[in-house]
Amino acid sequence: MSMTPFRSNLSRSLGAAFLLQALASLVSGGFLFNPLIVEEDIRKTMLNLASHAPLVHASIIGDIVTAAGIIFLGAILFAVVGSQNKGMALTALGLYIFEAGILVASKCVVFGLLKISQDYAATGDKAIERLARLALEAEHFMYTLHMLPFGLGAILFYFLLNKSNLIPKWLSLWGLIAVPFVLVGAVWTISDAHVPPAILVLALPYVPFEFFAGLFILVRGFHMPIRKDLIQ
């Protein structure tokens, strides 16, 4: 049976939402900001940031786009699975909005860190180093913190998505099983700033999920029609 226009548009929106926030996050963090950070060397980090201010600005804009994408994704997921349990879906949406807010706040810290770095590059004042180190630690903390509401909200959404049977069980279970590992990694990082690099392995099962889910839903759509009256 072919999809109705409503069902087709909603599936395309969900697929695009997954891809939008996943791509924006990857570009802003993985390609723009993180390569400028030199672990255990705040001086080189500040000089990198000061000499690559356009990249820092682009990374800030990228994460603001990511935050908008998170809210957009949460709204579409709510529309898709709200009929399964409206209270649970509304809670998940609230957690996604909270996640986006923390992410934007962390970018305000990045902007402050850039200004500190530019002052250091201009003056070489060693007294600035401690301030920059604190700002960088605050950014790392807030970025990690935003993964907590994401993880909790994603568990709720993926549970409802699995219950809805709109996509294959194996796909929704992939997200549902992988997200708790992200939560564990975030809690571990927050509780111990000197976690081993292996902690990043915990996030690996989830990393490709949003890209694959987005492409899959864009291409294949949903399995079952959705009634408009159930999500009002």
Q: Which pLDDT value is given to residue 68?
A: 97
Tell me how far apart the alpha carbons of residues 169 and 28 are, in angstroms, rounded to a whole number. Answer: 31
User: Closest Cα partner for 120 from 40, 53, 33, 46?
Assistant: 46
Give 26: exposed, middle or buried? Use CB within 10 Å, 0-12, 13-18, 19+: middle
Specify whether the backbone of 226 is left (phi greater than 0), alpha (psi in -120 to 50) or beta. beta
Q: How confident is the model at residue 39 (pLDDT cuts 50, 70, 90)?
A: confident
SS3 assignment, position 173: helix
The percent of residues above 70 in pLDDT, for the chain, comes to 90
Q: Which pLDDT value is given to residue 229?
A: 44
Tell me how far apart the alpha carbons of residues 182 and 103 are, in angstroms, rounded to a whole number. Answer: 16
Average pLDDT, the chain: 90
Convert the pLDDT of each residue in 136-161 to its tens digit.
Answer: 999 999 999 999 999 999 999 999 99
SS3 assignment, position 227: coil
Per-residue burial over 36-56, b = 16 or more CB atoms within 10 Å of its CB, e = otherwise: beeeeebeebbbbbbebeebb
Q: How confident is the model at residue 7 (pLDDT cuts 50, 70, 90)?
A: low
Q: Which pLDDT value is given to residue 110?
A: 98
Tell me how far apart the alpha carbons of residues 75 and 69 are, in angstroms, rounded to a whole number. Answer: 10
CA 171 to chain centre: 19
Convert the pLDDT of each residue in 184-222 to its tens digit.
Answer: 988 888 887 566 555 677 888 999 999 999 999 999 988
Contact indicator for 218, 12 with CB cutoff of 8 Å: yes
Higher pLDDT, 10 or 98: 98
SS3 assignment, position 126: coil
Q: Which pLDDT value is given to residue 40?
A: 87
pLDDT of 224 > 70? The answer is no
Tell me how far apart the alpha carbons of residues 63 and 34 are, in angstroms, rounded to a whole number. Answer: 12
